[in-house]
């Protein structure tokens, strides 16, 4: 059943929040991330062929831990966004954003009238009717998050208009795709990329919208801490799992 979103509450109070991208689909790992103490987990639909049924179970598993589940959608399809929110997603991450209009449409898909165009249903999200529809609509409109990802030069140029939209809760950078879009190859720490992301963070600060940093080196981590960043993406589970498996194998081989 929908309740107050702890992630959105912490963002409003400018308290530190830490998240992880879940790119190995399944409820067990999604729940594990929540149990590990992360404030939010981003379940990925952009790059994964994951069924909505698997995603529904993952959402419920994350919610059982007190962690906030977000879903990175492949696009702004309003019907899909509505189904995800009905299934328990507490917000969406919108990739490859390059215009304020795209964000405005996504916000409308996440909000009930008169603030948006989301269609309403009952079921588990309302506690099968134990949460009145008036209260549900108010909670949903106040607690669902919309997080655009800026991953191109067009997105950087559109950022002022994006930040002016009522209902943008956090901005996430996509340094690797930004580097590719700039013709720099797969180099997310290239100087031009670093400069644009620093400008992105400054624009978010000036607009009063949290910027979520994704540090890729100890130097970047130190830089963002010094800059006062409080929202953090700690990378993705796939890379950490792979390296942990490699390390454990190496340890056992060396012991033999």
pTM for this model (two decimals): 0.96
CA distance 85 to 109: 10
Provide the pLDDT for residue 171.
98
- 138 is a catalytic site residue: no
For residues 171 and 211, the answer to whether their CB atoms sit within 8 Å is yes
Residue whose tokens read 């009930």: 112
Cβ–Cβ < 8 Å for 93, 63: no
Residue-averaged pLDDT of the chain? 97
Q: How confident is the model at residue 256 (pLDDT cuts 50, 70, 90)?
A: confident
Task: Please tell me which residue in 47, 57, 138, 187 is annotated as part of the active site.
Answer: 47
% of the chain surpassing 70 pLDDT: 100
Euclidean distance between CA atoms 256 and 254, whole angstroms = 5
158-187 pLDDT per residue, tens: 999 999 999 999 999 999 999 999 999 999
- Check whether 80 has a pLDDT greater than 80: yes
Interval 187-200: pLDDT, tens? 999 999 999 999 99
pLDDT band at 206; cut points 50, 70, 90: very high
Q: Mean pLDDT over residues 128-142, rounded?
A: 96
* pLDDT tens, residue by residue, 10-37: 999 999 999 999 999 999 999 999 999 9
Query: Per-residue pLDDT averaged across 245-256, rounded?
Result: 94
Quick one: pLDDT at residue 245? Answer: 97
Rounded Cα gap, residues 126 and 139, in angstroms = 10
Cα dihedral 8→65→22→74 (10° resolution): -50
């Amino acid at each position: 059943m929908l309740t107050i979103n702890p992630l959105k509450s912490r963002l409003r109070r400018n308290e530190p929040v830490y998240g992880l991208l879940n790119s190995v689909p399944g409820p067990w790992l999604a729940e594990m991330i929540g149990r590990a103490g992360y404030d939010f987990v981003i379940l990925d639909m952009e790059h994964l062929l994951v069924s909505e049924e698997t995603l529904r179970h993952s959402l419920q598993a994350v919610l059982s831990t007190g962690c906030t589940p977000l879903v990175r959608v492949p696009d702004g399809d309003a019907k899909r966004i509505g189904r995800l929110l009905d299934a328990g997603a507490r917000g969406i991450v919108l990739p490859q954003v390059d215009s304020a209009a795209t964000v405005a449409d996504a916000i409308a898909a996440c909000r009930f009238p008169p603030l948006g165009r989301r269609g309403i249903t009952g079921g588990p999200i309302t506690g099968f009717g134990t949460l009145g529809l008036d209260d549900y609509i108010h909670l949903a409109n106040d607690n669902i998050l919309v997080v655009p990802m800026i991953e191109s030069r067009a997105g950087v140029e559109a950022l002022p208009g994006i930040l002016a939209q009522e209902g943008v809760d956090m901005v996430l950078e996509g340094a690797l795709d930004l580097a590719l879009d700039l013709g720099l190859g797969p180099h997310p720490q290239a100087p031009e990329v670093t400069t644009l992301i620093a400008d992105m963070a400054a624009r978010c600060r000036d607009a009063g919208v949290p910027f979520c940093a994704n540090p890729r080196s100890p130097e970047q981590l130190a830089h963002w801490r010094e800059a006062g960043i409080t929202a953090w993406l700690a990378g993705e589970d796939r890379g950490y799992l792979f390296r942990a498996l490699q390390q454990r194998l190496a340890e056992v081989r060396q012991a033999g």
